[in-house]
């Protein structure tokens, strides 16, 4: 008779991959004492030490622990396959779904999509992760997420990208910026002024490519990985910036006004869409979420993109 659970195996794998109970606790959204207890119960059940405890160095898998973790991953994968098979047979959409999202637009896209999806399919256990592009590629390949909402930035050939929306870039600056009265600006006009750059893997190269193509050099004076911080820097006069997703509220997080102006000239729009592995189309719940995303975009129901799509079609 089995005296351990799939949940305990899930906690074990989370700790084995992260090397830290605290990090695993955040990943699976369970308290650290609960994870510690699960590990202890597994070690007692198996009669093997799964981890070597090193003071100030976290946990490292023992040789037995590494072998058991590989087996645990296969057991969990088979269990998820059984859930999906049950959904196929019964016609239900159910089971776990881990969705990654580009952190630059996660706050205006993912919560709305998640809510409408969970209302349609309440038996799905939804988890969300805000990631940069490089982390999205890695997590998809490691099967740590099932799919991702992201941009078409250097998408590798082993992953599949389906376009949901095309988002041209715009300039963003505070109310007192010298270009504040312009209704559209070019890269050449922006280049002499201080720039606050969204400094994320691949995103940085995308924004800087505009200046390379125009034969000018940006005057980057501020860098940040956080979109909210970027808007506040711009609103407080620390330079203009360039982005593709425009929030509904034309104010920074600290309440100051912002202006959003189209960029004219030969600047490539960013395509937002769904990134999956080739195997994803065989999983019922993943297919359901992909179709849900397409429907929500067509019906103009993704809150953060509504204004941008309206402007594009105007």
Domain ranges of the chain: 6-86, 92-163+271-313, 169-268
Domain 6-86 and domain 92-163+271-313 have a common topology: no
| pTM, two decimal places | 0.67
Indicate the CATH number for domain 169-268.
3.40.190.10
Q: pLDDT band for position 309 (50/70/90)?
A: very low
pLDDT digits (tens, 9 = 90+) for 234-246: 999 999 999 988 7
285 in Cβ contact with 97 (< 8 Å): yes
Helix pair 6-18, 21-28: axis angle to 10 deg: 130
pLDDT number for residue 93: 77
pLDDT number for residue 245: 81
Kindly report the number of other CB atoms within 10 A of residue 162's CB atom. Answer: 13
**Maximum CA pair distance of the chain?**
74
Strands 170-174 and 241-243: antiparallel
pLDDT number for residue 281: 75
- What is the architecture, at CATH level 2, of domain 6-86? Orthogonal Bundle (1.10)
pLDDT digits (tens, 9 = 90+) for 32-59: 899 999 999 999 999 999 998 776 667 8
Residue that is written with structure tokens 């799919």 in the block? 147
Q: pLDDT band for position 64 (50/70/90)?
A: very high
Rounded to the nearest integer, the mean pLDDT of the chain is: 86
pLDDT number for residue 177: 93
Residue 120 has pLDDT above 80, yes or no: yes
Which phi and psi angles does 53 have, rounded to 5°?
Answer: -90, 120
Q: pLDDT band for position 299 (50/70/90)?
A: very low
Please state which of the four CATH numbers 3.40.190.10, 3.40.50.300, 3.10.20.90, 3.40.50.2300 is assigned to the domain occupying 92-163+271-313.
3.40.190.10
pLDDT digits (tens, 9 = 90+) for 132-178: 999 999 999 888 899 999 999 889 899 999 998 888 899 999 989 99
Burial (CB count within 10 angstroms: exposed 0-12, middle 13-18, buried 19+), residue 127:
middle
pLDDT digits (tens, 9 = 90+) for 9-21: 999 999 999 888 8
Q: pLDDT band for position 87 (50/70/90)?
A: low
Q: Report in angstroms the alpha-carbon separations of 145 from 26, 96, 293.
A: 15, 10, 16
Q: What is the mean pLDDT of residues 95-99?
A: 88
Residue 76 has pLDDT above 90, yes or no: no
- Nearest partner of 269 among 180, 207, 202, judged by Cα: 207
152 in Cβ contact with 203 (< 8 Å): no
Catalogue the long-range contacts made by 62-67 (C-beta closer than 8 Å, 24 or more residues apart).
Answer: 65/16, 66/16
Top pLDDT among 127 and 281 is at 127
pLDDT digits (tens, 9 = 90+) for 172-205: 999 899 998 888 999 999 999 999 999 988 889 9
Q: pLDDT band for position 311 (50/70/90)?
A: very low
Residue 67 has pLDDT above 80, yes or no: yes
Top pLDDT among 225 and 297 is at 225
Q: With b meaning 16 or more CB within 10 Å and e meaning fewer, what string describes 202-233?
A: bbeebbbebbeebebebebebebeebeebbbb
Kindly report the number of other CB atoms within 10 A of residue 180's CB atom. Answer: 12
Angle at 253 between CA 249 and CA 256, to 5 degrees: 75
Which phi and psi angles does 257 have, rounded to 5°?
Answer: -70, 150
Helix pair 106-120, 284-298: axis angle to 10 deg: 120
pLDDT-above-90 percentage for the chain: 48
The helix or strand, by DSSP H or E, that contains position 224, with its residue range, turns out to be strand 219-224
DSSP 282: G
């Amino acid at each position: 008779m089995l005296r351990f659970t799939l949940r305990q195996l899930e906690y074990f794998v989370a700790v084995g991959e992260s090397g830290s109970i605290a990090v695993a606790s955040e990943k699976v959204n369970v308290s650290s004492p609960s994870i510690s207890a699960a590990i202890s119960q597994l070690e007692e059940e198996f009669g093997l030490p799964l981890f070597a405890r090193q003071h100030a160095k976290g946990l490292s898998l023992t040789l037995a622990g590494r072998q058991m973790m590989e087996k645990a991953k296969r057991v969990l994968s088979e269990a998820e396959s059984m859930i999906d098979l049950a959904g196929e047979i019964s016609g239900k959409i159910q089971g776990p779904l881990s969705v990654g999202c580009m952190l630059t637009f996660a706050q205006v896209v993912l919560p709305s999509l998640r809510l409408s999806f969970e209302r349609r399919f309440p038996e799905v256990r939804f988890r969300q992760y805000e990631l940069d592009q490089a982390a999205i590629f890695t997590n998809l390949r490691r099967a740590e997420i099932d799919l991702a909402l992201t941009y078409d930035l250097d998408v590798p050939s082993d992953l599949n990208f389906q376009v949901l929306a095309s988002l041209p870039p715009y300039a963003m600056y505070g109310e007192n910026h010298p270009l504040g009265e312009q209704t559209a600006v070019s890269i050449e006009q922006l280049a002499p002024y201080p720039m606050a750059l969204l400094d994320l893997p691949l995103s940085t190269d995308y924004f800087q490519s505009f200046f390379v193509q125009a034969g000018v050099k940006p005057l980057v004076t501020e860098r940040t990985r956080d979109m909210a911080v970027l808007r506040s820097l711009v609103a407080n006069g620390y330079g203009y910036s360039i982005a593709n997703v425009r929030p509904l509220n034309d104010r920074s997080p600290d309440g100051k006004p912002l202006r959003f102006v189209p960029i004219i000239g030969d600047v490539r729009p960013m395509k937002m869409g769904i990134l999956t592995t080739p195997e994803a189309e065989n999983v019922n719940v993943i297919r359901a979420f992909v179709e849900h995303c397409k429907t929500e975009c067509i019906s103009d129901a993704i809150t953060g993109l509504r204004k941008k799509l309206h402007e594009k079609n105007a």
